């Protein structure tokens, strides 16, 4: 039999209904009926009995359908093996990424990826870490990129770490916060970032800021600090190419070591077997060097 005949018989056996099978195969019901008659003539036996309730398999039909399913499965396996041998990367790479990474680090990586693999497609969603974890658990994406230390049972790759800085146009030293009338500008986050900042603040000042402003987006926080509206604590990833007019004071922990944030790539083992994911990891490794 031709493969198309095997596929047709397999669909008929799954649906046991001429109308539904015709819809799945994108043919008219009369055309499907005529094609089935031709196939049965070729086999020299009836494969299906037609009833008012649908189709039923004849004893000979059961054997033919089993053979058809094996043909379809073997062909699909061969196609997969052939595709794995191709040098070109196809398919869609589905990524969920922390917004801050999507704005400041990921674009340069994706640029190289699409230049190297023009046949691959990219689906990108950005958001908070909780949204990224949800997308991974529900199978909506292949990989997730999050900030902080992940509680993840699957495979994970450390991408980079960056320091935290107090940023302001006038404040040169941390202790000047005690005398400034400027507000502390903060951005909302569902990660451990906010907790780390609070712990650092209380170690330094044992009290709350005189006044503060909370904004939704880190980019809004960044622009307000750069324009002198107030001071902010920002990760190094957001400060590339900043003006020399902005002072950047590194935050230190209790041991006088720089406070840093980690960025991780997460995914299930099955996703890492996909060629487009493997190609993306290869590009990422170049940026880690």
> Could you give the angle at which helices 29-43 and 18-25 cross, rounded to 10 degrees?
100
Decide if 174 contacts 204 (C-beta within 8 A): yes
Task: Please state whether the predicted TM-score (pTM) of the whole model is above 0.75.
Answer: no
The arithmetic mean of pLDDT across residues 36-43, rounded, is 95
Residue 1 has pLDDT above 60, yes or no: no
What structural domains does the chain harbor?
3-85 (1.10.10.10), 92-160+262-288 (3.40.190.10), 161-260 (3.40.190.290)
93: its two tokens: 């790479």
* Residue 125 CB neighbours (<10 A): 16
Whether the pLDDT of residue 8 is over 90: the answer is: yes
The CB-side HSE value for 79 (13 A sphere, CA atoms) comes to: 7
Cβ atoms within 10 Å of 239's Cβ, excluding its own: 17
Decide: 31 and 4 in contact? Cβ < 8 Å.
Answer: no
**Tens-place pLDDT, residues 203-255:** 888 788 889 999 988 889 999 999 999 999 999 998 877 667 889 999 998 88
Beta carbons of 45 and 60 less than 8 angstroms apart: yes
Distance linking the first and last C-alpha atoms of the chain: 54
What does the DSSP assignment read for 159-222? EEEEEEEEEESS--SGGGGGT--SPEEEE--SSTHHHHHHHHHHHHHSS--SSEEEES-HHHHH
pLDDT in tens, 265-288: 999 998 998 889 999 999 999 987
Token pair belonging to 257: 């070591």
């Amino acid at each position: 039999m031709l493969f198309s005949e095997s596929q047709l018989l397999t669909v008929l056996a799954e649906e046991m209904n001429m109308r539904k099978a015709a819809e799945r195969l994108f043919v008219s019901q009369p055309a499907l009926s005529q094609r089935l008659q031709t196939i049965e003539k070729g086999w020299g036996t009836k494969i299906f009995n037609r009833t008012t309730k649908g189709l039923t398999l004849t004893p000979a039909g059961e054997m033919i359908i089993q053979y058809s399913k094996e043909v379809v499965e073997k062909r699909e396996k061969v196609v997969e093996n052939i595709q794995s041998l191709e040098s070109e990367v196809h398919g869609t790479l589905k990524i969920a990424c922390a917004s801050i990474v999507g704005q400041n680090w990921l674009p340069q990586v994706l640029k190289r990826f699409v230049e190297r693999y023009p046949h691959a497609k990219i689906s990108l969603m950005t958001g908070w870490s909780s949204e990224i974890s949800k997308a991974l658990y529900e199978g909506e994406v292949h990989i997730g990129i999050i900030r902080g230390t992940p509680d993840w049972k699957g495979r994970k790759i450390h991408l980079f770490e960056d320091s935290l800085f107090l940023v302001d146009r006038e404040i040169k030293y941390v202790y000047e916060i005690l005398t400034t009338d400027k507000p502390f500008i903060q951005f909302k986050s569902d990660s451990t970032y906010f907790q780390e900042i609070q712990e650092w603040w209380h170690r330094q000042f044992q009290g709350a800021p005189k006044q503060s402003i909370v904004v939704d987006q880190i980019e809004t926080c960044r622009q307000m600090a750069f324009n002198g509206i107030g001071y902010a604590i920002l990760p190094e990833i957001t400060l590339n190419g900043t003006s020399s007019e902005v002072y950047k004071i590194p935050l230190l922990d209790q041991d006088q070591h720089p406070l840093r944030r980690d960025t991780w790539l997460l995914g299930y083992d099955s996703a890492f077997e996909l060629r487009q994911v493997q190609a993306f990891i290869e590009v990422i490794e170049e940026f880690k060097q």
